[in-house]
Chain A
Amino acid sequence: MLEAHNVSVQVGQKLLLKDIDFSINPGEFAVVLGPNGAGKSTLLKALCGDISLSQGDVTYHQQRVQDLNALDLSHIRAVLTQQYDCEFPFCVQEIVDMSHYVHQHNCTPDSLREYSQQAMQTLSVEHLAKRCFTQLSGGEKQRVQFARVLCQLLPTLHAHKPCYLMIDEPTASLDLYHQYQVMKLAQQIAKLGAGVVAVVHDLALAASFADKVYLLQQGELVATGSPEEVLSNAQLMSTYGIDAEITLSDMFLPTLGVAKVFGLSAEK
């Protein structure tokens, strides 16, 4: 289990996270939601071990994250970030194969090649294998990076060991189809046995796929639970300041309806 106990992060005078408790089991899909500046990405970084905590602990199976070295950590968690500024002309296959570094000592080259193949198939980027990464479209780049991250986790998943996937706004530069596809994939990876933590902005996307939602506001955790519990009208009004509701229907995934009278004026 990946846990955060009482985590606070302070940078200079600013308190970015305050007393956060968080936990996720392998196989779960948790989504972190919140308005801009609520500390979503900071929480994700704290869970990854990217930033030092001012207070509290992040533990992977009772081991504190700062006690694990970079290589140990890379065996049990992978991260898909928002931006990739790789300017050097690697081809797609090379980018995906970079994840082999993690497992080069405990896997054979042949099995690693197979994992690459499998990851690229899953993300349907096989046909791009020989293309130059710098010349792909934003969506293709994101999928290629997703394939690399998946390839990093596959050996651990295959060994039936627990592992975690962190995703920071995976859908930011994607069109509608790929937004849902990426979230669906994240859900599949969770079903394979990884604990997935995703930061997203789109409430409807979160409601469609998440098992568990963490709602942040100004660095504090304001609600936790299933999407239906957390994304209630009252909660949306108090956190986002808009009158909105998640609508469920039989034929479609949940959608977000926003009241015509916009913003706080609706309260009057």
Chain B
Amino acid sequence: MLALEQSLIPAEVARKWMLLGLIIGCIVVSFIGLTSGGVSISYSRLMDILFAGQSSNLEHAVIWQIRFPRLVLAIVVGAGLGACGAAMQAIFRNPLADPGLIGISSGAALGAISTIVLGSTLLSGFADYYGIYAVPIGAFLGCLGVCSLIYRLSSQGNRFTIVSLLLAGIAVNAIVGAVIGILTLISSDQQLRDLTFWSMGSLAGNSFTTIIPSLCLMLACCFGFSRLAQPLNLYLLGEQQARHLGVDVVRLKKKVFAYTALCTGAAVALTGIIGFVGFIVPHIVRLLIGPDHRYLLPASMLGGAILLCLADLLARTLILPSELPIGLITSALGGPFFLIMLVKTYRIKEL
């Protein structure tokens, strides 16, 4: 585990400034994201389009139909993944934990891949009924299904231990992995291509009407997480210790589990699997701002939003006119940044 020197844990005032800095950073990144892309729009034009309204030309459509929903999606998904990652690392009391442990990625993948591969045969009724929403809904249902299976297996009555959760998670993930493997094996070339790209993630092709239900769900979960900041801090002292300080530990764990499943499920349904954000963002933020969840959770949300906005900006501008999968960018961007921070921390620690 990374340990910080005392001088690196910032004072309360400094943390508030950092939060403010992250908010400003998020706004700046948003504006850059709105102005750049295939159609370049100047800053003053953007202001006209955003606030004056009226003009219904190409630029207007690009902003309101394409870039703005996409930006909102990037911000909310990033925030949700960041918050879920921070909460997971707290509940497992291990900085290596991520939402994948409770079956979110595998469940969503199972749902999405079943819909893609079996959409024309076994699940044709489902696929026809929901049309273009079939894959997101399939992913969301798969995610909730696998998560609740893991939950059922690891909780008995008033007991819900982290060890049983971890073991059930590993076992179910392995089984689901095998099913996904079989589905991949029987898929056609086009289906294989579809599911490969799905598993690398993308924010493309979403309008406001398709994303609003998920957005509401994710925002509600983020709100729920922010109310758990203090109990999560106490939980880091140890489960027993938190209970002695008046925290209903079992309920806390169940809440975090439910919020994480819903929030990440909603995100993954729309965007496919965007790895790394939930794992790396809380880490970086913890190095900057310390482990106190009253700051860590909002900072992780902002950090996740910034990382995903930046990654999306790169994804749609680097190889114009086509697009990179965003999962590649988040890993390529987050990885080196994380390494630099690690090396720096250790160097300071040794001095």
Contact = CB atoms under 8 A, between A and B. Distances in A.
A101 B237 contact: no
Q: Which DSSP category, helix, strand, loop or mixed, fits chain A's interface?
A: mixed
A89 B244 contact: no
Contact of A95 (B3, B6, B237, B243): B237
Contact of B2 (A71, A83, A89, A90): A89
A89 B234 contact: no
B247 A84 contact: no
Contacts of B290: 89-91, 94
Interface in A71-107: 71-75, 77-79, 81, 83-91, 94-95, 98-99, 101-102
Nearest to B89: A88
A134 interface: yes
Interface residues of B, number: 30
A98 B3 contact: no
B122 interface: no
A48 interface: yes
B231 interface: yes
Given A48-B244, A86-B236, A89-B290, A101 B3 contact: no
A210 B230 CA distance: 36
Contacts of B4: 89, 132
B245 A98 contact: yes
Interface string A128-168: 00111011000000000000000010000000000000000
B189 to A, nearest CB: 47
A99 B246 CA distance: 9
A168 to B, nearest CB: 10
A132 B8 CA distance: 9
Nearest to B94: A87
Contacts of B238: 81, 83-86
Interface residues of A, number: 34
B9 A99 contact: no
Nearest to B290: A89
A248 interface: no
Interface in B75-104: 93-95
Q: Which has the most chain B C-beta neighbours within 10 Å: A71, A85, A101, A130?
A: A101
Given A87-B93, A132-B5, A101 B247 contact: yes
Contact of A135 (B3, B95, B247): B3
Contacts of A77: 244
A62 interface: no
Interface in B292-335: 292
B237 A98 contact: yes
B230 A101 contact: yes
Q: Which has the most chain B C-beta neighbours within 10 Å: A78, A88, A90, A134?
A: A88
A265 interface: no
Contacts of B93: 85, 87-88
Contact of B9 (A79, A85, A89, A152): A89
B291 interface: yes
B196 interface: no
A70 interface: yes
B294 to A, nearest CB: 10
Given A87-B1, A88-B291, A152 B237 contact: no
Contacts of A78: 244
A98 B229 CA distance: 12
A249 interface: no
A122 to B, nearest CB: 19
Q: Which has the most chain A C-beta neighbours within 10 Å: B9, B233, B241?
A: B241
Interface of B: 1-6, 9, 93-95, 230-231, 233-234, 236-238, 240-241, 243-249, 286, 290-292
14 contacts: A69-B248, A81-B238, A83-B238, A86-B238, A87-B95, A88-B1, A88-B93, A88-B236, A89-B4, A91-B9, A94-B233, A101-B246, A102-B246, A134-B3
Interface of A: 48, 50, 69-75, 77-79, 81, 83-91, 94-95, 98-99, 101-102, 130-132, 134-135, 152
Given A50-B240, A89-B286, 11 more contacts: A70-B248, A71-B248, A72-B246, A86-B238, A87-B95, A89-B290, A91-B9, A91-B290, A101-B230, A101-B231, A130-B6
Minimum-distance CB pairs A-B, first 7: A74-B246, A71-B246, A88-B291, A79-B244, A89-B4, A87-B1, A131-B6
